[in-house]
Amino acid sequence: MAEKFDRWALMASALFALFWSMGLLVTPASAIWLTIPSSGTKCVSEEIQSNVVVLADYYVVHDVVDANQEPPQHIPTISARVTSPYGNNLHHLENVTQGQFAFTTTESGNYLACFWMDGKSKEGSTFSVSLDWRTGIAAKDWESVARKEKIEGVELELRKLEGIVDAIRENLVYLKNREAEMREVSETTNARVAWFSIMSLGVCISVSGLQLWHLKRFFRKKKLI
């Protein structure tokens, strides 16, 4: 009996490790630093499928080059804009040092987040923006779910695994649909290239025949003369 229980415990641990490692691939949570120039825009994009929760926090950070250098008393403000693949404005703030945006995607494609300094910033100043970008399961507030549904421990971990499995399945379906779309586009392109090649060959044959007819007519007239 004890051996059977140990076997089930080992299998459960292995499955948990497998789903956890797979979940790292399908539920990205990335914190990055973007160096914002005094003039210009710095953008970051991510390809996300539809019906996915996106949550992000950002704030201005001063790059201290010298260890004895003190942070500035005045931190410059920035502007931020987030757009969907079709150009819809999802988030826009100006004259801020920090902010947050959250939305559920309705379109599949590249979502773009752009940051730039306001005109009040000094020329040549070096500042960065810390961006914590989370999507999917990583953006879900599991503490609120646990309090609302009164679950904890193993049950909460199983709920997380269930969410990871659903995310994996949705990602596989998305990739399958993208592959079908790419295959359809490739077949359509190949058919158009084939027809274009046939038309080009027909035009070349027609021009060659016309030139041959013109040369024969020219030499016939020359013989008559």
What is the enclosing helix (H) or strand (E) of 58?
Answer: strand 53-62
Domain boundaries, the chain: 33-140, 144-224
The pTM of this model reads: 0.58
CATH architecture group of domain 33-140? Sandwich (2.60)
| Tokens, residue 169 | 């399945």
Q: How far is residue 32's CA from residue 55's CA, in Å, rounded to a whole number? A: 14
**pLDDT at 77 (0 to 100):** 85
**How far is 37 from 31, CA to CA, in rounded Å?**
19
Mean pLDDT, 10 residues at a time, the chain of 225 residues: 44 46 46 82 87 88 54 74 91 90 89 85 71 80 67 72 77 83 89 91 88 79 66
| pLDDT at res. 217 | 77
Give the closest residue to 84 by CA, choosing from 104, 58, 65.
104
